[in-house]
């Protein structure tokens, strides 16, 4: 039963401190009469207009000296559609009254949202252009259960929080409202009256578009249409497919020539995608494109998780970029950040005046390394927000996968915390059980709803079974970054070749655990920033040797079990450390050694894609076999990669500048062998030492009945295959 509309209630409505304004404002039947009330600050006069006839029915009277206008409708007993004719002093406007429209959320939506099983909350929450009762406008809905009042504010109401106070749905803690006449492109925020009486302005957590920093308003935008599942994309992302990833920061890959700060998504589609295709990469991985306020965060501190950053264009422009990639046979992976968010005032922090999206205790809720805020994964609404976001990018933009950032910081409550500065879980342990449950839930739902997509964990610890199915006790990721392999092998390559024999284990240790997870071998942006120098800068020796070392290392990496990832600039041996505010040093490609690195990457990718033994059994121990792993004095490694059909590729690396003439190693079969790539080739800037066709001889070696005698080029990797008969 509706409470009586007393003067005290009217005062609360006028002050914007009433949680149920729809019971007061709009048209109501009270004591046998039809009463219309409207709160319209700055209005000079208001009248009620019959929508069906367009005729003015009744003027509205100002209640005292307030902005509240009231009319008693004579001659009518039943509720009817009406409009308000408002004299603003300088113009007259006839408009729909938002308080005459019914709720936006249906009973099923409310139930699912409250239960935490609405996998796509973005379909109802946020701002959606819709029609209601024949009127065009926008439905708004936002979760803020502890707020005293929530209003939609924007240019359409003079940013006055009294104009559009929302309806509170107690069942799910959501405030909602349909506002007529608001259109796509309009700016808006939520004005929130907190429990302690403070007013704050917040961007929409579910905004599909945002303003470019330093502006922080959300922008009304259509929900992007669904993109159908694609079996071709599923096959390209599979565990037994070739996956070679080019990691990119869109803002610094290449700068425009006309002095603008960035290339647009469409310009990047026309320039970046053909470039990636020309180098035969299978996928491109984008550092976060979610809206974020600080350029120097590179997108890893997002405030608009559902909005492609406006730096490069519109949501439609970003969809065009993804579609162009797919048209060129390239998958798109997004870096995704469900680990934390920044404490910017317009963002999620203390969203309704309480610790809503984050843990309340700083020992749980503040990230010590970055000063950011950690999601409270124990709340179903927060988990839904993030799971829905994962599906959103896959279903609405067609991305092929999500690389989840900073997973280690999510898994452990004591991550980067001193003793006594963290809160144990309910069992007294250090694992964040809620975060683990969230990751499993996210991976399960993505796997069921969009099986063509993959998820990848950037996880730096020995947490078990990261890339194993949830039903088998794992976290459910498809892939895990092999950061141990990366650190070990880069440390080996940094050594002078004369000392490498003392560090031999760094190159072979990865095989001790290579099949515990489905690994990606990453040479990411993290290795070429914050005074770590460039990849070429990590190599020892004179200029020729540095480039030879890098080519040999790439060859070893492309032969080693695991999918491949290389950060931009590494494909041509950029000298300088990555600068996110500049551009790659494209001028270096005029020099042969740099052009040679680029060409060897192209050819390694081509060989990798053309020879299934190099990728088919990346995660099967039967797909790998050492030939030579203990020749410390020569710093030579040799191994076999095999597919399920008996085909194989032999990889041999010599990590010294000394050519090894007459070097013999075993091979599994008799016949002729040929090189398919040699990183010492002259076209790459090498010395040109190569092997012609090699005939296996019945001389036992390395446990094989047959062997070949080769010349191992200096600081080089060669790959051999058996010639087809």
pLDDT tens for 582-609 read: 999 999 999 999 999 999 999 999 999 9
What is the rounded distance in angstroms from the CA atom of residue 683 to the CA atom of residue 696? 28
What's the CA dihedral at 663, 644, 283, 234 to 10 degrees?
Answer: 180
Per the structure block, which two tokens stand in for 306?
């559902």
CA atoms of 477 and 458, how far apart (whole Å)? 10
- List the one residue out of 538, 558, 721 whose CA is nearest residue 653: 558
Q: Which has the closest alpha carbon to 659: 640, 685, 635, 638?
A: 635
With beta carbons less than 8 A apart as the criterion, state whether 575 and 536 touch.
Answer: yes
Work out whether strand 92-96 and strand 82-87 pair parallel, antiparallel, or are unpaired. antiparallel
Rounded CA-CA distance 400/521 in Å is 18
Average confidence (pLDDT) over 325-350: 97
Distance in angstroms (rounded) separating the CA atoms of residues 325 and 689: 38
Nearest to 127, CA basis, from 169, 173, 190:
190
**What's the chain's average pLDDT?**
95
pLDDT of residue 3 exceeding 70, the answer is no
Region at 433 (left for phi over 0; alpha for psi -120 to 50; beta for the rest): alpha
Rounded mean pLDDT, 124-149: 96
**E strands, 611-693, where?**
624-631, 636-642, 648-654, 660-667, 672-678
Q: How far apart are CA 333 and CA 96, in angstroms?
A: 44
Residue 457: CB atoms within 10 Å = 29
Q: Is the pLDDT of residue 725 over 60?
A: no
User: Can you tell me the distance from the alpha carbon of 424 to that of 364, in angstroms, rounded to the nearest whole number?
Assistant: 9
Q: How many whole angstroms separate alpha carbon 621 and alpha carbon 513?
A: 10
Max Cα distance, the chain (Å): 110
**pLDDT average, residue stretch 264-274:** 98
**Residues facing 189 on adjacent strands:** 153
Kindly report which listed range (43-57, 344-358, 630-644) carries the lowest average pLDDT score.
43-57
Residue-range domains of the chain with CATH: 7-96 (2.60.40.10), 107-219 (2.60.40.10), 242-337+378-483+521-541+560-612 (3.20.20.80)
In terms of C-beta density within 10 A (0-12 exposed, 13-18 middle, 19 or more buried), how is residue 472 classed? exposed
**Segment 443-461 mean pLDDT:** 96
Burial class (CB in 10 A: 0-12, 13-18, 19+), 105: buried
The H or E element that residue 441 is part of is: helix 433-449
Q: Distances in Å between the alpha carbon of 596 and those of 137, 317, 683?
A: 58, 34, 6
User: Average of pLDDT values for 250-267?
Assistant: 93
**If DSSP codes are grouped into helix, strand and coil, which group holds residue 717?**
strand
For the chain, what's the residue count?
725
For the chain, give the percent of residues with pLDDT over 70: 99
Given its phi and psi angles, is residue 662 left (phi above 0), alpha (psi -120 to 50 degrees) or beta?
left
Residue 99 and residue 22 in contact, taking contact as beta carbons nearer than 8 Å? yes
Residues 370 and 389: their CA atoms lie apart, in Å, by 23
* pLDDT for position 19: 85
Listed range (10-24, 127-141, 642-656, 662-676) with the worst mean pLDDT: 10-24
Assess contact for 449 and 119: CB atoms under 8 A: yes
Residue 531: half-sphere exposure toward Cβ, Cα within 13 Å:
0
- Say if pTM beats, i.e. exceeds, 0.85: yes
The pLDDT tens digits of the residues spanning 657-674 come to 999 999 999 999 999 999
Q: Cis (ω within 30 of 0) for the bond into 146?
A: no
Which of 57-66, 121-130, 195-204, 475-484 has the lowest average pLDDT? 57-66
Give the number of other CB atoms < 10 A from CB of residue 148. 21
Give strand ranges (E) for 126-166: 126-132, 135-143, 149-154
Lowest pLDDT segment from 10-19, 247-256, 715-724: 10-19
Which residues are registered as beta bridge partners of 219? 187
Residue 157, token pair as written in the block: 């109401």
**Pairing label, strands 563-567, 519-523:** parallel
Res. 66: pLDDT tops 70: yes
| pLDDT score of 674 | 97
Query: Which tens digit of pLDDT belongs to each residue from 517-562?
Result: 999 999 999 999 988 999 999 999 999 999 999 999 999 999 999 9
Evaluate if residue 2 carries a pLDDT over 70: no
Q: Comparing C-alpha atoms, which of 666, 638, 663, 640 is closest to residue 653? A: 638
What pLDDT does 1 receive? 43
Q: What is the pLDDT of residue 657?
A: 97
- DSSP one-letter code for 373: B
Dump strand ranges (E) for 88-148: 92-96, 126-132, 135-143
For the beta carbon of residue 647, count every other beta carbon within 10 angstroms.
Answer: 15
**634: Cβ–Cβ under 8 A, 6 or more apart, which residues?**
654, 656, 658, 660, 663, 712
Nearest to 365 by CA among 337, 340, 338: 340
Strands 331-336 vs 401-404: parallel, antiparallel or unpaired:
parallel
Res. 350: pLDDT tops 90: yes
Cα dihedral: 236, 241, 242, 245 (round 10): 50
Identify any residues that bridge with 153 across adjacent strands, giving them in sequence order: 189
Q: For residue 202, give the nearest of 191, 187, 213 by alpha carbon.
A: 191
Q: Is 134 left (phi over 0), alpha (psi -120 to 50) or beta?
A: left
Q: Name the band, by pLDDT with cuts 50, 70 and 90, for residue 440.
A: very high
Q: Coil, strand or helix: which one is 636?
A: strand
Which residue matches tokens 């005729």? 55
| Catalytic residue set | 405, 458
The percent helix, strand, coil of the chain (3-state, each to 5) is: 30, 25, 45
Q: What is the pLDDT of residue 449?
A: 95
Share of the chain above pLDDT 90, in %: 92
């Amino acid at each position: 039963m509706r409470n009586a509309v007393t003067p005290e209630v009217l005062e609360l409505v006028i002050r914007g401190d009433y949680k149920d304004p729809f019971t007061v404002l709009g048209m109501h039947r009270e004591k046998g009469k039809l009463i219309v009330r409207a709160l319209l600050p700055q209005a000079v006069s208001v009248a009620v207009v019959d929508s069906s006839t367009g005729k003015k029915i009744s003027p509205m009277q100002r209640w005292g000296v307030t902005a509240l206008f009231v009319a008693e409708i004579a001659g009518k007993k039943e509720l009817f559609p009406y409009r308000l004719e408002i004299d603003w002093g300088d113009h007259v406007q006839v408009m729909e009254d938002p308080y005459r429209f019914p709720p936006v959320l249906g009973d099923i939506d409310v139930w699912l949202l409250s239960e935490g099983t609405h996998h796509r909350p973005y379909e109802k929450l946020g701002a959606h252009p819709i029609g209601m009762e024949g009127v065009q406008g926008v439905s708004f809905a936002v979760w803020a259960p502890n707020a005293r009042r929530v209003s939609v504010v924007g240019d359409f109401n003079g940013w006055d929080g009294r104009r559009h106070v929302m309806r509170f749905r107690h069942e799910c803690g959501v405030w909602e409202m349909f506002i007529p006449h608001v259109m796509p492109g309009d700016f808006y925020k939520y004005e929130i009256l907190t429990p302690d009486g403070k007013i704050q302005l917040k961007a929409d957590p579910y905004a599909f578009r945002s303003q470019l920093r330093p502006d922080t308003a959300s922008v009304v935008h259509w929900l992007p249409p669904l993109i159908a599942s694609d079996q071709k994309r599923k096959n390209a992302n599979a565990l037994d497919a070739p996956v070679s990833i080019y990691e990119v920061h869109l803002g610094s890959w290449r700068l425009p020539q006309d002095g603008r700060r960035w290339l647009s998504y469409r310009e990047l589609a026309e320039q970046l995608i053909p470039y990636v295709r020309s180098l035969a990469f299978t996928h491109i991985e984008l550092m976060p494109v979610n809206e974020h306020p600080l350029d120097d965060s590179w997108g890893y501190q997002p405030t608009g998780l559902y909005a492609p950053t406006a730096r490069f264009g519109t949501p439609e422009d970003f969809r065009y970029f993804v579609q162009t990639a797919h048209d060129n046979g390239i998958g798109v992976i997004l870096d995704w950040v469900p680990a934390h968010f920044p404490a910017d005032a317009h963002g999620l922090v203390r969203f309704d005046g309480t610790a809503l999206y984050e843990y309340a205790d700083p020992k749980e809720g503040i990230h010590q390394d970055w000063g950011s805020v950690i999601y409270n994964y124990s709340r179903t609404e927060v988990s839904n927000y993030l799971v829905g976001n994962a599906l959103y990018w896959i279903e609405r933009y067609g991305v092929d996968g999500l690389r989840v950032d900073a997973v280690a910081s999510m898994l452990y409550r004591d991550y980067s915390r001193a003793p006594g500065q963290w809160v144990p879980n309910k069992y007294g342990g250090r694992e964040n059980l809620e975060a683990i449950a969230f990751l499993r839930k996210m991976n399960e739902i993505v796997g069921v709803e969009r099986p063509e997509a993959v998820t990848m964990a950037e996880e730096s610890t020995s947490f078990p079974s990261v890339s194993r199915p949830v039903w088998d006790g794992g976290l459910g990721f498809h892939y895990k970054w092999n950061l141990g392999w990366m650190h070990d092998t880069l440390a080996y390559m940094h050594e002078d070749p004369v000392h490498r024999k003392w560090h031999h284990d760094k190159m072979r240790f990865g095989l001790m655990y290579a099949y515990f997870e489905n690994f990606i071998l990453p040479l990411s942006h993290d290795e070429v920033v914050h005074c770590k120098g460039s990849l070429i800068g990590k190599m020892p020796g004179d200029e020729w040797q540095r480039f030879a070392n890098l080519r040999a290392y790439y060859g070893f990496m492309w032969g080693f079990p695991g999918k491949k990832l290389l950060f931009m600039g590494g494909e041509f041996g950029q000298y300088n450390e990555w600068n996110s505010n500049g551009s790659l040093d494209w001028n270096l490609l005029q020099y042969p050694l740099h052009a040679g690195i680029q060409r060897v990457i192209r050819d390694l990718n081509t060989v990798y894609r053309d020879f299934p033994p190099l990728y088919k059994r990346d995660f099967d121990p039967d797909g790998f076999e050492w030939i030579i792993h203990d020749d410390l004095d020569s710093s030579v490694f040799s191994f076999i990669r095999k597919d399920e059909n008996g085909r194989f590729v032999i990889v041999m690396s010599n990590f010294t500048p000394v050519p090894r003439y007459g070097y013999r190693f075993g091979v599994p079969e008799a016949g002729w062998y040929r090189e398919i790539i040699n990183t010492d080739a002259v076209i790459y800037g090498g010395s040109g030492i190569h092997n012609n066709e090699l005939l296996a001889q019945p001389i036992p070696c390395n446990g094989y009945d047959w062997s070949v005698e080769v010349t191992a080029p200096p600081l080089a990797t060669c790959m051999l295959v058996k010639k087809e008969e």
